Amino acid sequence: MYQRDYILRMIEMIGDFIAAIMGLIRKGKFEEAEERLSNLYYNVLKEDAAFFRNLKEKDLTGSLLKSHNYTNDHLEILAELFNAEAELSLARNMQKECLEYSRKSLILFEFIDAKQKVYSLDRINKMEMIRKRIEKISSGES
């Protein structure tokens, strides 16, 4: 029980960091946002950001759960990081990268949603927002 409480506090804390990163993106401080994102990848998931960026969509969950012994909590954190990366890419008008990060984020959120026993309206809303972003970019709208 104590371990689960600790993990939940960590996820909340990471959520605060990601909210701060989103604030930097809205302010146009893209380099600072990118640096903070890179630090989060390494400090929380113990891999450098390039490692996660290079993961293929089809290998995402299996590779991380089996080879790296990640938990669903790790995957949820990674989904949040990918979503922030997508927002940063969108702000930089990098459509291809935004689409890639959005898809990876959605894959992870959907996997977590299917596996977790707890309903999360926040997760459902994020998945819907990501789906809309993917649809908009895929249809060529900007």
DSSP 32-62: HHHHHHHHHHHHHHSS-HHHHHT--GGGHHH
Query: What is the number of structural domains in the chain?
Result: 1
pLDDT digits (tens, 9 = 90+) for 90-108: 999 999 999 999 999 999 9
Domain that holds residue 9: 2-138
Contact indicator for 101, 25 with CB cutoff of 8 Å: no
pLDDT digits (tens, 9 = 90+) for 36-53: 999 999 988 888 889 988
pLDDT digits (tens, 9 = 90+) for 12-32: 888 889 999 999 999 999 999
pTM of the model: 0.89
User: And the tokens for 68?
Assistant: 């790296």
Contact indicator for 81, 40 with CB cutoff of 8 Å: yes
Contact residues for 63 (Cβ-Cβ < 8 A; gap 6+): 55
What is 69-98 written as a DSSP string?
---HHHHHHHHHHHHHHHHHHHHTT-HHHH
